[in-house]
């Protein structure tokens, strides 16, 4: 059975944090605020995958009240989601994601992001689509106050849905 999920995440940009997107540290004067490394791209993908298998969202599995995961790499979150998919008998068909940020330009980093995400999910980079756009200077994203990401994921469920 083919299943599809969607994911969305947003984080505020703040001083004193590294900017991590798709597992890549990108040079920027601001970083994303969050309990983990706040990688909005990986978080949206995790939620899309969790949705595709009928699971609770990322906040349920990785609550910001759990101090044992403070600062966790979002690639580790994807690895744990991958393990949950395997437990449920799901194989990833593809992931398609969109990063929405006014700055910095992320185009030069997309191939590395795809490789990082594919490695975390144990799939081919060709199964991971990543695009980026600005918000045309509109809203909190356009003012450089935050970033967002959206993702869809398609999985193939083996056997009965558990």
The per-residue pLDDT for range 113-158, each reduced to its tens digit, is: 999 999 999 999 999 999 999 999 999 999 999 999 999 999 999 8
Domain that residue 149 falls in = 2-157
pLDDT in tens, 75-110: 999 999 999 999 999 999 999 999 999 999 999 999
Does 6 fall in a domain? yes
Would 44 be classed as within a structural domain? Answer: yes
Q: Kindly report the CATH number assigned to the domain that includes residue 6.
A: 3.30.1330.50
Q: What is the domain count for the chain?
A: 1
Provide the whole-model pTM: 0.96
pLDDT at site 80:
98
Note whether residue 100 is domain-resident.
yes
Confidence of residue 162 (pLDDT cuts 50, 70, 90): low
Is 162 part of a structural domain of the chain? Answer: no
Report if residue 98 sits inside a domain: yes
Tell me, yes or no, whether 97 lies in a domain.
yes
Q: DSSP assignment of 50-106, as one string?
A: HHHTT---HHHHS-TT-GGGTT--HHHHHHHHHHHHHHTTEEEEEEEEEEE-SSS--
User: What was the pLDDT predicted at 153?
Assistant: 98
The 10s digit of each residue's pLDDT in 19-66 is: 999 999 999 999 999 999 999 999 999 999 999 999 999 999 999 999
Residue 161: pLDDT over 80: no
Question: Which runs of E-coded beta strand occur in 15-161?
Answer: 19-21, 24-26, 31-32, 90-100, 128-133, 146-157
């Amino acid at each position: 059975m083919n299943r599809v999920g969607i994911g969305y995440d947003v984080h505020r940009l703040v001083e004193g944090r590294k900017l991590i997107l798709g597992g890549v540290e990108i040079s920027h004067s601001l970083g994303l605020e969050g309990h983990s490394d706040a990688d909005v791209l990986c978080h949206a993908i995790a939620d899309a995958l969790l949705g595709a298998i009928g699971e609770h969202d990322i906040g349920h599995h990785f609550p910001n009240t759990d101090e044992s995961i403070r600062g966790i790499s979002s690639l580790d979150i994807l690895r744990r989601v991958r393990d949950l998919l395997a437990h449920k008998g799901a194989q990833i068909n593809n992931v398609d994601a969109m990063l929405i940020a006014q700055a910095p330009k992320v185009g030069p980093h997309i191939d590395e992001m795809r490789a990082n995400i594919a490695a975390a999910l144990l799939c081919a980079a060709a199964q991971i689509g990543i695009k980026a756009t600005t918000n045309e200077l509109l809203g909190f994203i356009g003012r450089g106050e935050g970033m967002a990401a959206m993702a869809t994921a398609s999985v193939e469920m083996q056997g009965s849905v558990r």
